[in-house]
Structure 1
């Protein structure tokens, strides 16, 4: 079993999140050793509570590893009082309810700051904490559409296409984690907590990066270009003898080396192809010339040959091929962990490496309420009080 990271071991986090964005944020903190207490409703107390698939399914295991679990009914006055008691000794609270829910529950930032001025509340929403869309339900695909990602994804003649991963959910969780770490650093100077906010819509727009800046700075509205790069050619997907290849000829010197490799040195000086603007202008024509050439060799042969001349290229993997790749194995992106019901399994590792205090996956996701007694005892709740709370379905 891996050892718990020591990087954030002094940090106590109360995790009220569900589905994906919020759990992604808390997973970062947990993987670096924070004591993350996942707070969820007792059975029947919150029919609308969302989970990520089956309790022992892949998504729950991956999102909620390294956490402890407490069941607590926040809708009951006794449950709210217990939560605020925990806030007194906590560092961070993370929630991704609709913005008005925490106000109704009496656990908004001002409520938390009254009992602990050092508390940091991180709120992740669909569209922001205020404004005309604040109360709308937010889902990843909706944010992908409104944030511009779907408008530039897919083939030009086929309409918008969603990305195959939850880009808005995951990035909003990561941005919230960054905000928490910034707030913690600032707290070390001021002694005060603050309210950290992120949303799926803001995160998706930020992830558009150069495409968004292209519009803001130049006034250009980017369009979808399929697998081709928006302005560099040839950079995209090409069929090989046995599959597909990502080709990335990113500069004119790389183009010159590429032309030598494919036996067409004249292309390097031909004014039609010598510069990227010229190649971009003749993109369809150029791909028509390249397709029969790439069909002559396998993907592996092309990757090796292109690497030899310094031209970026790579295979296009299915997920089983991803984790079979020797570089992925070297990077340790499949983290082993034991689960009481599923036995030995693997989860997706943190992609951030620290030399002294690395992240680790040291324990699997908890069952609901698995640690309730221990967590409540830590804030002074007696065994008799715990039994009474359980009898009332408060925990």
Structure 2
């Protein structure tokens, strides 16, 4: 498969991706979506385990996470594979890896040596606990990072064990921060001519989105706890029942709450001392939710949605994939794109994000069908062999 014209703000950059499963490969997907040429190194034979992941009868996860990539089959446990990888890295701009710390060093691919040979190289290292510290050598998957970073402990209901999201959010956050680190390092390279190592830990990536959890305890002695479908101190903000489904309403800001009460035909609630202020609503969350639920349960989702739009109250339906495929807003913004996939045929998946006005990225090519299908092409173009 020949290289298509590279487009996007990262066009011209070469990326070697050595990671497997989600964290490293999603970082590579983000860079590839923005125009970088990504050489995905896979072990000969079965390749990345992601090729067999996905719900339903036909695996689909690989078709998304490996788009805009070239499959290069190398055995990194062999001297020959290590030497070929080293040659590719010597002409690359970015290397991504998400192995346990020390693995690259055992494979004679120590990032310090790689950077010495290629001073412009940026190495994105993604691991469970980071490259140093007492836990560095522990095995770490995304869920473990979610637990240590504070996410798992506050998700779910108080009388039940911690819940999880239905996606691997810890891995995706680490990949996103790894990508952000690579872009920051690129800017530094533009100024200095030199690359650097980006150390990204799963648990620290989760920690970054935990808002004020730590100072809330350090300053106030207050620990966040599981609160089900609500969040402590924010009301009303919940999923409410309708006659034919459920609907999310977020009207915790004072002026928005006034508009919600008017839409309910209950303007007096906004003046009620129990609900008139943010703090008062927080203290009386359950009874306020009961008032709102009693009203929403008399309406269909469509009727409630119309009222919330008219009242300019932030609210929305709970979407699944079928809803997304049918929604005109997704289509109008290109949030979903259809890729002519050699395995699945025309396949719809999330589009490139974020959108840039002058140099937008796009899905230039489908995920590699066969392990190592692009090995000869990449070696020829990159190494001139």
TM-score (norm 1): 0.91
Match of 2:52 in 1: 53
Hey, what's the Cα distance between the residues in 2 that align with 1:53 and 1:96? 19
1:24 corresponds to 2:23: no
Match of 1:378 in 2: 381
Alpha carbons of 1:3 and 1:327: their partners in 2 closer, same or farther (altered >3 Å)? farther
Contact 2:45 2:371 in 1 (8 A): no
The 1:241–1:213 alpha-carbon spacing in structure 2 relative to 1, beyond 3 Å, is farther
Q: Alpha-carbon deviation of 1:247?
A: 0.8
Aligned-pair CA distance for 1:215: 3.3
Q: Distance in 2 between matches of 1:5 and 1:313?
A: 37
User: What corresponds to 1:369 in structure 2?
Assistant: 372
Which residue of 2 is the match for residue 347 of structure 1? 349
CA contact (8 A) 1:4 1:361 kept: no
Distance (Å, rounded) in 2 between the aligned partners of 1:149 and 1:284: 24
Q: Which SS does the other structure have where 1:208 is aligned?
A: coil
What is the CA-CA distance between 1:4 and the residue it aligns to?
4.2
Where 1:293 maps in the other structure, the secondary structure is: helix
Superposed displacement of residue 171, structure 1: 0.6
Alignment-derived partner of residue 124 in structure 1? 126
> Pairwise mapping of residues 229-308 of structure 1 onto structure 2 (< 5 A)?
229-308=231-310
**Partners of 1:277 and 1:89 in 2: CA distance:** 58
The aligned counterpart of 1:391 is none
Offset, 1:109: 1.3
Shift of residue 229 of structure 1?
2.6
Task: Provide the C-alpha distance between the structure 2 equivalents of 1:292 and 1:180, rounded to a whole number of angstroms.
Answer: 50
Contact 1:336 1:361 in 2 (8 A): no
Q: Is the 8 A contact 2:8 2:362 kept in 1?
A: no
1:24 and 1:127 map into 2 onto residues whose CA distance is 18
User: Is contact 1:87-1:115 (8 Å) kept?
Assistant: no
Structure 1 runs not aligned, ≥5 long? 383-395
Give the CA deviation at 1:111.
1.6
Aligned equivalents of 1:6, 1:145: Cα separation in 2: 36
| Contact 1:4 1:360 survives alignment (8 Å) | no
Q: What's the offset of the Cα at 1:5?
A: 2.0
Pairwise CA distance, 1:216: 4.6
User: Does structure 1 residue 68 correspond to structure 2 residue 70?
Assistant: yes
* Aligned match of 1:80: 82
CA displacement, residues 256-291 of structure 1 (integer Å, 9 cap, x when unaligned): 222222122221212122112112111112222222
Task: Tell me the alpha carbon deviations over residues 132-190 of structure 1, each in whole angstroms, 9 at most, x when there is no partner.
Answer: 22112111222222211111111122221111221110010000000001101100111
The alpha-carbon deviation at position 380 of structure 1 amounts to 4.4
The whole-number CA distance in structure 1 between the counterparts of 2:236 and 2:344 is 46
- Does the 8 A contact of 1:183 with 1:194 survive in 2? yes
* Inter-partner Cα distance in structure 1 for 2:383 and 2:168: 40
For the pair 1:222 / 2:220, whether they are aligned, the reply is no
Q: For residues 379 and 295 of structure 1, what CA distance do their matches in structure 2 show?
A: 62
Decide whether the 8 Å contact of 1:233 with 1:276 is kept in 2. yes
Counting matched residue pairs gives 378
Q: Contact 1:84–1:115 at 8 Å: present in 2 too?
A: no
SS at structure 2 position matched to 1:228: coil
TM value normalised by structure 2 = 0.93
* SS state at 1:129 partner: coil
TM superposition shift of 1:8 = 1.1
